[in-house]
Structure 1
Amino acid sequence: MQQPWQTAWPERISYGLSDAADNLVFQMMTTYLLFFYTDVYGLSASAAAILFIVARLADVVESLIIGIMIDHTHSRFGKSRPFFLWYALPYVLFAVLTFVTPNFGDTGKLIWAYVTYLGLGFFYTAVNLPITSILPTLSKNDQELTLLGVIRQFSGSAVQIIVAVFTLPLVALLGRGNQQHGFLYTIILFGIISLALIWNTFFQVKERFSQPEADHQPLGEVWQMLKKNQPWFVISIVILLYWLTTAIKNQTTIYYFKYLQHSESLVPLVNGFTFAALIGVVLIVSAAKRLGKKRTMLTGIAIAAIGQLILASGTLVQQLPIIFAGTFINSIGNGLIIGLVSIMIADTIRYGMTMGIQAEGILASTDDFGVNVGLGLGGLITAGLFHLSGYVANHPQNVATQHMITLNYAWLPLGLYILMFIVLLFYNETQLLTAVNQHFDNVRN
C-alpha cells in the first residue's frame, strides 16, 4: 500500500531551492572557472589542469569525510539538515575568494588559487551532499520522493541556465570592461542569494523518517552493505560519466565560440538553448511512473546522444542553426538524466536499509564524488589537451588547438553518452524495488 504524502509545498519548494542555491556558484565553476583562470587570472593551461586534478583528488576524500560526518552526526536538527546551517557561510566566502585576483607574482597567484579552490570544493561538498542524503528521510512515499527530486532538479537546472546565459553579460555590466572586477562582483551577487536560499532550506525542511537501529553503523558493516548494493555501484559510475561529459563540453563552449566562431557574445545565446533541460525534468514524473526510472534515464541518455550527434554535425559544416538545434535536443535528454540522479540514489539508500544499514551520508556521497571526480577529470582532459596542442590565451589558435577544442566540444561527449548508456543497462531496478517494497511492508506490519 502506498504511503500518504508528508510534505507541503513550502517545504518542497525550499528543498528544491537548496540545489538552486548551490548551482549559483557551482555553474560558474563548471562553465567559466577554467576560462577565468587562463584568460582573466593569468594561469597557464597546464597549471590550471594540475590544479583541477589535485582539487578533485582532494574532493574524493572530502566526499567520503562529509558522508561519514553526516552518518555520525547527532543533533536535535537531524543528521543532514544541520550542515545547511553550519557550512553555508564559509561556502559563500570561499566562492568569493576564488574569484579574487590579488596582485601577486606567478607563484603567489598559484598558491592563492590552490587555497581558495580547494577550500571552495570542501565547503561545496558540505552543503551539497546533504541535499541528496536528506531526501529519503523526508517521506516514505516513492512518488513523493520522485516529485521532490524533480522539484530539486527543476530549480537547480533553471539556475544553471540563468547562470550560463547571464554570467557574461553581468560580468560586462558590473565590471564595465574589467573582467576581473566583473567576475568578482557577479560571484558576490550570486553568493548573497545562495546564502539566503541555503539557510531557508535549513529552516523549512524536516527529517521525518529514520531507523534508529540502522543508524550510525560501524564502517565495516557499511562497507559490507556497499559491496552488496549493485544498483548503487552502477548509478555511481553513471553519475561520474555524466559529470565528466558535462565538464568537458561546458568548459569548452566558451573556447569554441571565442576561437572558432570568433564571437564570444554567442555563448549566452547557445547556453540559452539549454533551457530545454527543464522540459526533460518536467517529463520525469509521468515518464518514471509509466516506464520506470531506469528506462526513463536510458531514454534521456539516448536523446542526449542524438542531440550531441546533431551538434557535432553542425561543427563539421560550421552551421550555427544545427549546433543550436543539437544543443536543444541534447538538453532535453540531460534534463531526464540529471533529474533522476538524486531520486535513484535515494532508492539505493533505501535498498541499503533493507540490509539493516541506514548510511545516507556515505551512499549520497556518490553524487558529490561523481560530480567532483567528473569535473576534475573533465578539467584535466580539457586543459591538458589544450596545453599539448599549444593553446595560447587571447591569441589566434593554431590548427591543432582548434581541432582539440572541437574534439572536446563535440565528439568526446558523444562517446561518453554511449558508454553511459551501456553501463546503465546493468542497473537492477527490479531487484531493488522488490526488496524495498517488501522491507517497508514488513516495517508497517
Structure 2
Amino acid sequence: MEEKQVSWKERLAYAMSDFGCNTIFQIVGTYFLVFSTDTMGIKASVITGLFALTAVIDSFDGIIWGQFIDRTHTKWGKSRPYWLWFSIPFALFCVMAFSAPNLPYTWKVVWIYVAYIGVKVLYSGVNIPVTSILPALTSNPQERVVLSTVRQFFGNMGASILLPLTLPAVAWFGMRFGSSKAEATTSAAGWFIWALILGILTVVCLLTAFAGTRERVVTKDSNRSIPMRESVKALKGNYPWAIIIFINFVYWGAFAVRSSSLPYYFKYVLHNEALGSWVLAGTVITLISTALVPFLTKKIGKRNTMLIGMVGTALSQLILFFADRMSGNVPMILVGVVLYYVSYGLTGALIAVMLSDAVDFGEWKNNVRAEGFVTSFSSFSAKLGMGLGSMILSAVLASGGYVAVSAGHSVVQSGSALNAIRLGFIWIPLIGYVASCIALLFNNVDKIENKMVADLKVKHENEQ
C-alpha cells in the first residue's frame, strides 16, 4: 500500500485544518460563557437556554452535513470543497460571537443566540470533513495514525499558543482602545479585535488544507450518491462506531465543562486569573505526548494507547480535588494540570483514527462505505456532549447563585457559587473521563484490523 502514502507537505496541509478551525473553536468553548456573562452582562440562566437550544440543533445538523458530503461529487473530491465553501462564513460567526454591540438587553440576547448557533452549525461544515477525508487520504492504518497525530499536534500547538494569549491579548487591545487595566479583560473592543485576528487565521489555514490535500482512496461508493436508508446499513452491528461515538459524547462533554469552568475557578476560587492563563499555556505539553502516539500505537495498539490517556485525565481530576481541599495548593494543581495535558495528548489524535476504522468496519461487515454519514456522528456526539456540558455548567452556576460581572466591576461570589464552580471544574469532568475509560475497554478492533484491511484491499481491487 505504499502508493497510498502521503508526503510531509500534504500531512502539514492536512494539519492546518485542525490548527485553523479547532483552535478558534476551543477559544469559543473556553471563553464564550465568560464573555457573555462578564462582558455582555447576560445572565447565566439565559446562556443555559442557548446551550440547550444548540444541543437540540446539533442533534441534527451534523448528520445533515454528513449526508451532504456523501452526495458531493466535485473535481476536488467529496470532503475538501467544504473548507473552500464554508471557511469564511465560519470565521465571520466566530467573530460575531465575541462582538458586543451597544444594543438593548433583549437584542443582545438575540445577537449571541444567532452568533453561537451559527458558530456551532458551521463548525460542523468545516470540521466533519477533517474526519471524513481521513479514510480517503490513505487506506494504510498506520499512515492514518501518523496523519491524525500530525493534525492533532498542530491543533494542540495552536491551542497552546492562542488560548493562553487570549486574555493578555484582549487586555492589551482593550487598553489601547481606552479600557482601564481593571476592566481590560472584559473589554468589548479587545475581544472583537482578538476574534477578528483569529478569524483571519482560521480562513487562511482552512484554505491551505483545501489546496494541499488530495482524496486518493476512491471506491465504488465514493463515486455515487448514497441514500440515507443505505448509509444506515453501515452502522448495523458496527460496535467500534457505537463505542467511539459514546466516548465522543462523554469525553468532549467533560472537556467542555472543564474548559468553560477553568476561567471561573482561577478567577473566583483561587483569586489568581493570571495563573489560569499560564495553565492554559500548559497545552504545549500535549505536543510531547501527541508526538509519541505513532510509536506507542505500534507497541501496544491504538486502544491501549488511548486508554492510558483517558485513565490519566481521570487521575488528574482527582489530584485537582485534593489540591482544592488543601486551600488551592498551587504546586499540586500544576501536577494535575501536567498529567491532564500529557494524557489529553494521547487521546485526541486517536478518536479520528478509530472513526476511520469504523468506516472500514461498516464496509467490511455491511458492504457500505459511507464516510460522511458514519463520521458525521462524531461531530453530532461531540457537539451534543459539549453543548449539554456547557448547558449543565451554566445551570450549575445559576443554581449556585453565580453573579455575572458587568465590565469594570468586581464581585465577591457566595460560597454556593464557589462550590458550583468547583463542581464544574473537578467533579463533572471526572465522571465523563471515567465513563470513557469503561466504554473503551469493550473496543477490540485492533485484533481484527489486519484481516479487515486485507479483505477490503481485495474488494477495492476487484471493483476497479
For the superposition of Structure 1 and Structure 2, which TM-score range results when normalised by the shorter chain? over 0.9
CA offset at residue 327 of structure 1? 0.6
2:132 matches 1:133: yes
Identity of aligned residues (%): 34
Pair 280,249 (structure 1): closer, same or farther in 2 beyond 3 Å: same
For 2:266, the aligned partner's letter is F
Of 189, 193, 197, which residue of structure 2 is paired with 1:181?
A: 189
> What is the CA RMSD across the aligned residues, in angstroms?
1.5
Measured in 2, the distance between the counterparts of 1:202 and 1:185 equals 26
In structure 1, the partner of 2:354 is 344
Q: Is the 8 A contact 1:276 1:329 kept in 2?
A: no
For 1:418, the aligned partner's letter is V
Residues 28-427 of structure 1: pairs in structure 2 closer than 5 A: 28-176=27-175, 177=179, 178=184, 179-213=187-221, 215-317=224-326, 318-354=328-364, 355-394=366-405, 395-427=411-443
Of residues 68-77 and 51-60 in structure 1, the stretch that sits farther from structure 2 once superposed is 51-60
CA offset at residue 4 of structure 1? 4.3
Measured in 1, the distance between the counterparts of 2:460 and 2:92 equals 44
For 1:411, the aligned partner's letter is W
Q: Is the 8 A contact 1:59 1:373 kept in 2?
A: yes
Measured in 2, the distance between the counterparts of 1:312 and 1:154 equals 29
Q: Is the 8 A contact 1:99 1:184 kept in 2?
A: yes
For 1:320, the aligned partner's letter is V
Q: Is the 8 A contact 1:4 1:141 kept in 2?
A: no
Corresponding pairs, count:
444
Measured in 1, the distance between the counterparts of 2:141 and 2:233 equals 26
Measured in 2, the distance between the counterparts of 1:440 and 1:150 equals 24
Measured in 1, the distance between the counterparts of 2:312 and 2:4 equals 32
CA offset at residue 106 of structure 1? 1.5
Measured in 2, the distance between the counterparts of 1:309 and 1:267 equals 18
TM-score, structure 1 as length reference: 0.97
For 1:127, the aligned partner's letter is V
For 1:331, the aligned partner's letter is Y
In structure 1, the partner of 2:454 is 437
Measured in 2, the distance between the counterparts of 1:349 and 1:131 equals 14
CA offset at residue 23 of structure 1? 2.2
Over residues 312-350 of structure 1, what are the superposed CA-to-partner deviations in whole Å (9 max), with x where a residue is unaligned?
211111201101110101111111111101111111112
2:22 matches 1:12: no
DSSP 3-state at the match of 2:292:
helix
DSSP 3-state at the match of 1:228:
coil
Measured in 2, the distance between the counterparts of 1:344 and 1:236 equals 10
CA offset at residue 303 of structure 1? 1.6
CA offset at residue 213 of structure 1? 4.1
2:6 matches 1:22: no
Measured in 1, the distance between the counterparts of 2:395 and 2:160 equals 27
Measured in 1, the distance between the counterparts of 2:38 and 2:450 equals 49
Of residues 171-180 and 417-426 in structure 1, the stretch that sits farther from structure 2 once superposed is 171-180
TM-score, structure 2 as length reference: 0.93
Over residues 1-47 of structure 1, what are the superposed CA-to-partner deviations in whole Å (9 max), with x where a residue is unaligned?
x5445311111101001100012320111110000011111110000
Over residues 62-102 of structure 1, what are the superposed CA-to-partner deviations in whole Å (9 max), with x where a residue is unaligned?
10110000000121111101101111111111111121111
Q: Is the 8 A contact 2:310 2:343 kept in 1?
A: yes
CA offset at residue 353 of structure 1? 2.1
Q: Is the 8 A contact 1:24 1:191 kept in 2?
A: no
CA offset at residue 280 of structure 1? 2.1
CA offset at residue 442 of structure 1? 4.4
Q: Is the 8 A contact 1:230 1:428 kept in 2?
A: no
DSSP 3-state at the match of 2:39:
helix
Of residues 302-311 and 40-49 in structure 1, the stretch that sits farther from structure 2 once superposed is 302-311
CA offset at residue 57 of structure 1? 1.5
Q: Is the 8 A contact 2:32 2:97 kept in 1?
A: no
Pair 216,432 (structure 1): closer, same or farther in 2 beyond 3 Å: farther
DSSP 3-state at the match of 1:65:
helix
Measured in 2, the distance between the counterparts of 1:374 and 1:146 equals 25
Pair 213,134 (structure 1): closer, same or farther in 2 beyond 3 Å: closer
Measured in 2, the distance between the counterparts of 1:4 and 1:285 equals 20
Measured in 2, the distance between the counterparts of 1:228 and 1:360 equals 16
Measured in 2, the distance between the counterparts of 1:284 and 1:431 equals 20
Of residues 393-402 and 317-326 in structure 1, the stretch that sits farther from structure 2 once superposed is 393-402
CA offset at residue 405 of structure 1? 0.8
Q: Is the 8 A contact 2:148 2:349 kept in 1?
A: yes
Q: Is the 8 A contact 2:79 2:132 kept in 1?
A: yes
Over residues 90-147 of structure 1, what are the superposed CA-to-partner deviations in whole Å (9 max), with x where a residue is unaligned?
1111111121111111211111111111111111111111010001101122111110
CA offset at residue 250 of structure 1? 0.7
DSSP 3-state at the match of 1:315:
helix
Over residues 358-380 of structure 1, what are the superposed CA-to-partner deviations in whole Å (9 max), with x where a residue is unaligned?
21111111221122112111111
In structure 1, the partner of 2:408 is none
DSSP 3-state at the match of 1:104:
coil
CA offset at residue 433 of structure 1? 4.8
Over residues 198-241 of structure 1, what are the superposed CA-to-partner deviations in whole Å (9 max), with x where a residue is unaligned?
11111110111121246422211221221221100100001111
Query: Gaps (5+ residues) in structure 2?
Result: 406-410
CA offset at residue 439 of structure 1? 2.1
Measured in 2, the distance between the counterparts of 1:397 and 1:320 equals 21
